[in-house]
Amino acid sequence: MPLRLNEVRMSAVKPSATLAMAAKAKALIKAGVPVMNLSAGEPDFPTPACIVEAARAAIGLRSSHAYTNPRGTDELIAAMQQKLSREQGVDYKDNEVIATVGTKGALMLALDALVGPGDEVVLFAPYWVTYADLVRLAGARPVVVSTDRERGYQPSMQEFEAALSPSTKLVVLNSPNNPTGAGWPESMLRAILERVRGTGIWVISDEIYEKLVYGDFKHVSPASFDDDARGRTLFVGGVAKAYAMTGWRVGVAAGPKLVIDALMTLQGQRTTCATAVAQVAAAYALREGPDVQAAVAEMRAAYTKRRALVLERARAIPGVKVHDPEGAFYVFLDVNERIPARRALPAGGGGSVIADDVVLANRLLEESNVATVMGSAFQGPGCLRVSYAASEDTLNQGFDRIAAFFASTTSA
Ligand code: GLU
């Protein structure tokens, strides 16, 4: 008998394109190739020293060597509650929050708890690579509402309406968005919550980029709108992006006790709890004392400068268009005009013509040694995601190479 995987389950999932591009870039760098890595959304800053110190002080304690409650330590539960009250404007009881293994962990548990075969989950594209796979792994079906650059990556309510059906069980929101950086105004979020009022439709609000916002954009949390919104919305977020803590793997989820209890049960059976010493670091970060606030402000100031730099560099490339991102640390380059194959290849074409964004991202990496992520991975074909969680020097060299690559290819 041949040895087989669970092929049904594994056919529902593919490797994460963001992690795959980052891994390829890191492997090339390790082999001595000078790659400019603009792929994964991972801060290039170290975790602020004050947060590291808090973890260092805790690492010798027995409590850091033991399982914690699946919900998290008392200290972290209190820090999550304070954070959610202060920043989301929502008071959660201690049985309405849970610390998870990264924000991805919160999303995985939530999708398993909320949806299954026969259910539909509305996603707004472009969307983060992992959502659709987690929906399929849970046995449910993603239903995609497209948004575009011309409309600031905001959906029309008619298109949203058309995506809803009696099978709709969940809507996933992500403002500011990965990969476009688009932040939705409060009116857009309110319109969506208004439409699902009184229905059996849950909402997940992924707010992992909430602190990385620019200009006069104001982040708002749908759960804060009113009792109906609070009762159907699961907040997910975490410490990874704003505090440069990607590898510590601590996520936060908050919502009605019914859902959080389910996440507790699943987490207790799957991973027990987030790593104890990482919970100490996360609690320190989420309390946001003056030292943490200063570190976050410094990183945000750096991202603000880099955002201006990448927008200027991107717009200087003929045929490249880009939305001014309200948040996160990505620009989503619309390169449709530079992909003639999306219309028709010139007779005898081939050669230096770029077939699509997947070919483009791979050629940029292999020929020009600059790592980005293909838009298709986010259901945004004809685009490239560039992460500006990289130094100005890396960004400048990366854009020098992207510009030179485009200059050497057949133009539309
Ligand atoms: N969320 C980041 C990204 O989109 C990190 C990698 C991942 O988990 O996708 O690049």
Q: Is 410 domain-assigned?
A: no
247: which 2 tokens? 């590898």
Q: Which of 289, 321, 348 is the last residue of a domain?
A: 289
Q: Which pLDDT does position 339 carry in this prediction?
A: 86
Range with lowest mean pLDDT among 306-310, 351-355, 373-377: 351-355
Q: Which pLDDT does position 350 carry in this prediction?
A: 46
Q: Is 412 domain-assigned?
A: no
Q: Distance from the CA of 389 to the center of ligand 1, in angstroms?
A: 12
Structural domain that includes position 26 = 7-46+292-405
CATH assignment at residue 196: 3.40.640.10
Q: Is 411 domain-assigned?
A: no
Pocket test for ligand 1, best of 42, 131, 212 (most atoms within 8 A of CB): 42
Reported as a pLDDT band with limits 50, 70 and 90, residue 82 is: very high
pLDDT of residue 180 exceeding 50: yes
Q: Is 353 domain-assigned?
A: yes
Same domain, 308 and 262: no
Q: Which of 224, 254, 289 is the last residue of a domain?
A: 289
59 Cβ partners below 8 Å, 6+ apart? 277
Angstrom distances, CA of residue 327 to CA of 192, 221, 306, 386, 388: 20, 14, 12, 14, 11
Q: Distance from the CA of 19 to the center of ligand 1, in angstroms?
A: 6
Q: Distance from the CA of 266 to the center of ligand 1, in angstroms?
A: 23
85: which 2 tokens? 């009250």
Q: Distance from the CA of 394 to the center of ligand 1, in angstroms?
A: 19
Q: Is 278 domain-assigned?
A: yes
Pocket test for ligand 1, best of 13, 44, 108, 129 (most atoms within 8 A of CB): 129
50: which 2 tokens? 């004050």
Mean pLDDT of 205-216: 98
Q: Distance from the CA of 17 to the center of ligand 1, in angstroms?
A: 9
Mean pLDDT of 228-240: 98
State the closest ligand 1 atom to the C-alpha of 19, by its place in the atom list counted from 1. Answer: 6
Q: Which of 289, 306, 327 is the last residue of a domain?
A: 289
pLDDT tens figures, 70-81: 999 999 999 999
Same domain, 192 and 218: yes
CB under 6 Å to ligand 1: residues?
16, 18-19, 40-42, 128-130, 178
Same domain, 245 and 313: no
Mean pLDDT of 114-130: 98
Number of domains in the chain: 2
pLDDT tens figures, 272-315: 999 999 999 999 999 999 999 999 999 999 999 999 999 999 99
State the closest ligand 1 atom to the C-alpha of 40, by its place in the atom list counted from 1. Answer: 10
Same domain, 264 and 304: no
pLDDT tens figures, 48-72: 999 999 999 999 999 999 999 999 9
Same domain, 86 and 116: yes
CATH assignment at residue 340: 3.90.1150.10
Q: Are 239 and 270 in contact (CB under 8 A)?
A: no
Q: Distance from the CA of 246 to the center of ligand 1, in angstroms?
A: 9
Same domain, 283 and 305: no
Percent of the chain whose pLDDT exceeds 90? 94
Q: Are 149 and 321 in contact (CB under 8 A)?
A: yes
Q: Are 260 and 252 in contact (CB under 8 A)?
A: no
Q: Is 268 domain-assigned?
A: yes
Q: Is 69 domain-assigned?
A: yes
Angstrom distances, CA of residue 359 to CA of 26, 354, 356, 410: 19, 7, 5, 14
Q: What is the pTM of this model?
A: 0.96
Q: Which pLDDT does position 409 carry in this prediction?
A: 83
pLDDT of residue 412 exceeding 50: no
Q: What are phi and psi of 202, to 5 degrees?
A: -80, 160
Same domain, 270 and 311: no
Q: Is 307 domain-assigned?
A: yes
Q: Are 99 and 126 in contact (CB under 8 A)?
A: no
Same domain, 285 and 296: no
399: which 2 tokens? 């854009």
Alpha helices in 3-91 (DSSP H): 7-10, 17-30, 49-58, 74-83
